[in-house]
Amino acid sequence: GAVVSQHPSWVICKSGTSVKIECRSLDFQATTMFWYRQFPKQSLMLMATSNEGSKATYEQGVEKDKFLINHASLTLSTLTVTSAHPEDSSFYICSARDGRQGAYRAFFGQGTRLTVV
Amino acid sequence: AQTVTQSQPEMSVQEAETVTLSCTYDTSESDYYLFWYKQPPSRQMILVIRQEAYKQQNATENRFSVNFQKAAKSFSLKISDSQLGDAAMYFCALLNNNDMRFGAGTRLTVKP
């Protein structure tokens, strides 16, 4: 089946530094990538949607200058948390939508646990 | 924007019994897919079942089945012969061309 690889699985960083999370679709072309944030015991909250080659669309309340999303190719999207602060500590999950027309399927990465100290 | 609502924060079922998890949604799109995902403590999202909106027949995957009522925008999950391994968070999700959203989730406990 389709595989989405997300790295790193966990990261600890100091407050004020930046962290990059990668999401790769290994055996299919992902025309759309979804990025989510999940706080403990809560649901997946959509942060932004990115389409290959175009700017990401951010959800209301999500700072686009803080959460930089790049989707430069059909198999790779990155989320960079800039100037991270303790309140950014969370679980981040990417999801890649199969790009074949009519293929309404989304595959999830393993998630990244970010801790900002 | 589309929305997904799960009104049952927690559900409990006896092993081998049947349980139904509820989900309602709202979308202005005519072409969309609905999903139920299971999230164990590892937090890996596991697809349980998928339903195409244009299909009237309810999807079934072994012990898992859905009751899809398009007019009512309802999409419930039935788990038959519940097993201890079914205990997890369950999320209902709605996917269309450029948007995928989740409900708040239902924590399912299975009692031996």
Model confidence band, residue B85 (pLDDT cutoffs 50, 70, 90): very high
Residue A16 confidence (pLDDT): 97
How distant is the Cα of B73 from the closest Cα of chain A, in angstroms? 18
- Going by C-alpha positions, the residue among B110, B85, B112 that lies closest to residue B21 is B110
Kindly write down the DSSP assignment for every residue of B14-44, as one continuous string. ETTS-EEE--EEE-S-SS-EEEEEEE-TT--
The yes-or-no verdict on residue B30 having pLDDT over 80 is yes
CB-based contact B101 A46, cutoff 8 Å? yes
Eight-state DSSP code of residue A6: E
Residue B101 confidence (pLDDT): 95
List chain A residues with pLDDT less than 70: 1, 99, 101-103
Angle at B42 between CA A12 and CA A81, to 5 degrees: 30
Work out how many CB contacts closer than 8 A connect A with B.
46
Residue A31 confidence (pLDDT): 84
Is residue B102 within 8 angstroms of chain A, CB to CB? yes
The span from the first CA to the last CA of chain B, in angstroms, equals: 41
Is residue B29 within 8 angstroms of chain A, CB to CB? no
How distant is the Cα of B23 from the closest Cα of chain A, in angstroms? 14
Region B64-77 average pLDDT: 97
Please report where in the chains the tokens 């999807």 appear, as a residue.
B59
Region B40-45 average pLDDT: 94
Residue A30 confidence (pLDDT): 87
The yes-or-no verdict on residue B97 having pLDDT over 90 is no
Cα–Cα distance list, A83 to A13, A36, A70, B44 (Å): 10, 19, 17, 27
Look at B98 and B44; give whichever has higher pLDDT.
B44
Region B42-66 average pLDDT: 95
Region B64-80 average pLDDT: 97
Region B37-45 average pLDDT: 95
Model confidence band, residue B73 (pLDDT cutoffs 50, 70, 90): very high
How distant is the Cα of B82 from the closest Cα of chain A, in angstroms? 23
Q: Say which of B43, B96, B101 has its CB closest to residue A111.
A: B43
